[in-house]
Structure 1
Amino acid sequence: MSRRPASTTRRFADGGGIPLVGSLHPKSRPSPLLSLGLVVVGAFLIIGYLYSGSGGSSGKEALSRLEGGVSCSLEIPKALPILKKAYGDSMRKVLHIGPDTCSVVSMLLKEEDTEAWGVEPYDLDDADSSCKSLVRKGIVRVADIKFPLPYRQKSFSLVIVSDALDYLSPKYLNKTLPELARVSADGFVVFSGYPGQRRAKVAELSKFGRPAKMRSSTWWIRYFVQTNLEENEAALKKFEQAAAKRSYQPGCQIFHLKSHH
């Protein structure tokens, strides 16, 4: 497969992780008291940041970031305008699969001319009333994605999956990825974490049963080729153009794949 330049979405080419910020090299070493003072000030700033904001949600997100937790589901609202430019009418009937699917589906349902459904791969023990309502209506289902999805072939024009694949071993990816292609008519989009990113350990062990495996774009591309999944080049090109216009820089790897026909 020919190599191409890296882009904001992870093209079928060799790609790296997120660049690290260069460290500063001061000429003189600060005194221990100064270092201690900076630590104390930093601690107060962190505490203040966690408890600032309204509704309590910003505190949770800040805590997640400080623990190194990364959510590609939280990336979807940022990417939505770009996805709409790339997929157009294919956004009319969308299935989202992954943790926090209730919030993603709720957001999609607010979009004009968009029908949305969701699959939550894990238990919804802490679901709020809005999420429970979506489950009662059958809009969101709780289903183990290691098994066939509970939908007919080409039930959705587009399928978006975030975070969930990072928790699957290749053994189960072999079953899940063909299912994503089967239930989608116009393709599917994978949001995956970059190598070096990690999830909050407490949440992982209690909910997912295993830590997330952050794979490189090279690994994913090789895997897609081995499983006969093709890159959706037309959608990728439109996505890149729209992303460039809006100066959008994804916080996760994004792969655009074709459905099997």
Structure 2
Amino acid sequence: MSRRPVNPSRHLADGGSIPFVGAIQSKSRSSPLLSIGLVVVGAILLIGFCYSNSEGGSSSTIKGVSKLEGGASCTSEVLRALPVLKKAYGDSMHKILHVGPDTCSVVSNLLKEEDTEAWGVEPYELDDVSANCKSLVRKGIVRAADLKFPLPYRAKSFSLVIVSDALDYLSPRYLNKTLPELARVSADAVVVFTGYPGQLRAKGGEVAKFGRPAKLRSSSWWIRFFVQSNLEENESAGKKFEQASSKRSYQPACQVFHLKSFP
């Protein structure tokens, strides 16, 4: 026996999944092309509505994080703060390690500065990166490294270490190892850029990408943690940073902490 072709509009009407299909079908005898066209348009609109309201419709990449409202990307905030950091740290800006997602953009900007060496550590997979980033990776300037393990550098390898958008995804268990490790490889100071509680963060695939959702902590939580980890705040650098920020009318969109390196 031969099978009859399926009528899409009939199945849609039976299922009741698209409103007004009944009205469309009532006119199908006089205008079949119009009916088909309206069904197609309705289906496209319904699919678009469902997609926009699903988690799959939100960006889960690092690039998506930087475009969220509320200053969600502290890595992009590092780029805004570079002139202020220069005023606060002066000669300590000659050899810098940046640790965090999208580190290639930070390193590229630092390398444009005269008499400045810059290196980067990407805590997550280096997928879908630009040709410039691939070049930095080939040269060994930027490398991927899990922050749950010791960094592949000797003690005091860098005058200044800047970390952004990386510590928010670590539990206290691993922060106890990572922050002292950042202080170990720095000679002068460590600058921490971290989000404010309540700021937006990428959803969707963030758990798969980072291993856990972002945990945005208050300044009081961080200060207690620094004390418990025997990390001393760099008050002198902090005051210089505040003064330079005031002169430039710069208001950080992230929390900024200044820590001393280990003796």
Q: TM-score, normalized by length of structure 2?
A: 0.74
Give the C-alpha shift of residue 203 in structure 1: 4.3
Q: Aligned equivalents of 1:217 and 1:89: distance in 2? A: 28
Q: Aligned equivalents of 2:195 and 2:134: distance in 1? A: 28
Alignment-mate amino acid for residue 180 of structure 1: L
User: Can you list the C-alpha shifts for 1:128-184, whole angstroms capped at 9, x where unaligned?
Assistant: 111111000000010001100000000000000001000000000010011000000
Alignment-mate amino acid for residue 249 of structure 1: Q
Give the C-alpha shift of residue 186 in structure 1: 0.2
Of the three residues 207, 215, 236, the one matched with 1:213 is 215
2:68 aligned counterpart, secondary structure: helix
Matches within 5 A, 1:17-166: 64-65=67-68, 70-166=72-168
Q: Aligned equivalents of 1:63 and 1:260: distance in 2? A: 32
Q: 1:87/1:173 Cα in 2 relative to 1: closer, same or farther (>3 Å)?
A: same
User: Can you list the C-alpha shifts for 1:39-87, whole angstroms capped at 9, x where unaligned?
Assistant: xxxxxxxxxxxxxxxxxxxxx7799325x67110000111000000000
List alignment gaps of at least 5 residues for structure 2: 1-62
Matches within 5 A, 1:195-234: 195-234=197-236
Q: Aligned equivalents of 1:65 and 1:150: distance in 2? A: 32
Greater relative CO (CA pairs within 8 A, separation 6+): 1
1:86 aligned counterpart, secondary structure: helix
CA contact 2:169–2:213 (8 Å) conserved in 1: yes
Q: 1:229/1:63 Cα in 2 relative to 1: closer, same or farther (>3 Å)?
A: closer
What residue in structure 2 maps to residue 238 of structure 1?
240
What residue in structure 1 maps to residue 177 of structure 2?
175
Of stretches 211-220 and 125-134 in structure 1, the one that deviates more from structure 2 is 125-134
Q: 1:185/1:76 Cα in 2 relative to 1: closer, same or farther (>3 Å)?
A: same
CA contact 1:69–1:199 (8 Å) conserved in 2: no
2:198 aligned counterpart, secondary structure: coil
Give the C-alpha shift of residue 200 in structure 1: 1.1
Percent identity over the alignment? 77
Q: Aligned equivalents of 1:63 and 1:141: distance in 2? A: 21
List alignment gaps of at least 5 residues for structure 1: 1-59
CA contact 2:156–2:186 (8 Å) conserved in 1: yes
Give the C-alpha shift of residue 205 in structure 1: 2.7
Q: 1:173/1:247 Cα in 2 relative to 1: closer, same or farther (>3 Å)?
A: same
Alignment-mate amino acid for residue 169 of structure 2: Y
Greater helix fraction, Structure 1 or Structure 2: 2
2:220 aligned counterpart, secondary structure: helix
Runs of 4+ in structure 1 off by over 6 angstroms are: 60-63
Of the three residues 233, 242, 257, the one matched with 2:259 is 257
CA-atom RMSD, angstroms? 1.6
Q: TM-score, normalized by length of structure 1?
A: 0.74
Alignment-mate amino acid for residue 65 of structure 1: L
Q: 1:63/1:124 Cα in 2 relative to 1: closer, same or farther (>3 Å)?
A: closer
Give the C-alpha shift of residue 233 in structure 1: 1.1
